[in-house]
Amino acid sequence: MKLGVNVDHVATIRQARASKVPDPVEAALAAELAGADGITVHLRSDRRHIQERDLRLLREIVKTKLNLEMAVTDEMTKIAAEIEPHSITLVPEKPDELTTEGGLDIKANMNAIEKLIKKLEGKSIIIGAFIDTDIEQIDCAVKLGLNHIEINTGKYAEKWPEREAEEELEKIKRSVDYALQKELIVNGGHGLDYKNVIPIREITGINELNIGHSIVARAVIVGMYEAVCEMLALIGDF
Catalytic residue numbers read: 42, 69, 190
Separation of alpha carbons 42 and 153, rounded Å: 17
**Contact (Cβ atoms closer than 8 angstroms) between residue 76 and residue 70:** yes
# residues contacting ligand PXP (CB under 6 A): 19
State which of residues 3, 184, 192, 200 lies at the interface with ligand PXP (CB under 6 A): 192
Nearer to ligand PXP, 95 or 122 (CB): 95
Under the binding rule (CB under 6 A), the answer on residue 6 touching ligand PXP is yes
Part in contact with ligand PXP (CB under 6 A); list of ranges 78-86, 106-114, 183-191, 225-233: 183-191
Q: Which of 91, 41, 42, 31 is nearest to 64 (CA)?
A: 31
Part in contact with ligand PXP (CB under 6 A); list of ranges 17-25, 31-39, 159-167, 204-212: 204-212
The distance between the two most distant Cα atoms of the chain, rounded to a whole number of Å, is 47
Separation of alpha carbons 108 and 91, rounded Å: 13
Separation of alpha carbons 91 and 42, rounded Å: 9
Cβ 73 to ligand PXP shortest distance, Å: 15
Under the binding rule (CB under 6 A), the answer on residue 146 touching ligand PXP is no
Under the binding rule (CB under 6 A), the answer on residue 210 touching ligand PXP is yes
Nearer to ligand PXP, 45 or 122 (CB): 45
Nearer to ligand PXP, 24 or 212 (CB): 212
Strands 66-70 and 185-189: unpaired
Grouping H, G, I as helix, E, B as strand and the rest as coil, residue 131 is strand
**Contact (Cβ atoms closer than 8 angstroms) between residue 172 and residue 150:** no
Nearer to ligand PXP, 148 or 173 (CB): 148
Cβ 27 to ligand PXP shortest distance, Å: 13
Q: Name which of residues 8 to 37 contact ligand PXP (CB under 6 A).
A: 8
State which of residues 64, 100, 133, 175 lies at the interface with ligand PXP (CB under 6 A): 100
Angle at 51 between CA 45 and CA 52, to 5 degrees: 90
State which of residues 5, 91, 151, 227 lies at the interface with ligand PXP (CB under 6 A): 91
State which of residues 45, 99, 181, 204 lies at the interface with ligand PXP (CB under 6 A): 99
Q: What are the residues whose beta carbons fall under 8 Å from the beta carbon of 18, sequence distance 6 or more?
A: none
Separation of alpha carbons 183 and 54, rounded Å: 33
> Phi and psi (nearest 5°) for 5?
-100, 125
- Footprint on this chain of ligand PXP (rule: CB under 6 A): 6, 8, 42, 69, 89, 91, 99-100, 130, 150, 189-192, 210-214
